[in-house]
Structure 1
């Protein structure tokens, strides 16, 4: 069973942050990583691409993935999202 994801209100400097949004009726994702005190970002991507990047980077770095989802776009098929 996959490790659950954790919902947060803002990017977390100690994790890989997946920020969900909607554009033209499609769900998009933006991956944010902290390097020291500054965040770098992929910019908005199709959700499958953003999710894949987040999982890859988290696995490579042994990091947790947290999710910013203010519009409740998360789908249960993506995994468990804990509050």
Structure 2
């Protein structure tokens, strides 16, 4: 991609939006409540190569911190990230959300 000035711009990251926690990906669960926009990160036991016996769920964090934590974890364990966002917390500057066509 190039901008009008000829400088190259990076493509936005794309994340699949899902309705439930996925067994084969890191799931970023976003929600809005009385504390504001928060998120939790779910590491599925099924994708841990036997290292985990149960899914691991982070404590609720501010949404942006949860997003950053999900990115770090996904990079460390080499898994994709999916997003469960029933309350519309996702920020466009984090990337593009899309729904997979069945």
The TM-score, its normalising length taken from structure 1, stands at: 0.88
> Gaps spanning 5+ residues in structure 2: where?
1-10, 47-52
1:6 corresponds, among 7, 16, 38, to 16
> Gaps spanning 5+ residues in structure 1: where?
none
**RMSD, aligned CA:** 1.5
Q: Number of residue pairs matched?
A: 83
Helix, strand or coil: the match of 2:44? strand
1:26 corresponds, among 36, 39, 46, to 36
Structure scoring higher RCO (CA < 8 A, sep ≥ 6) equals 1
Check whether the contact 2:13–2:94 (CA below 8 A) recurs between aligned residues.
no
- Looking at secondary structure, tell me which structure has more strand per residue: 1
Deviation at 1:2? 4.1
- Bigger mean CA offset, 29-38 vs 48-57: 29-38
The residue aligned with 1:72 is 88
Task: From the CA coordinates, give the structure whose radius of gyration is larger.
Answer: 2
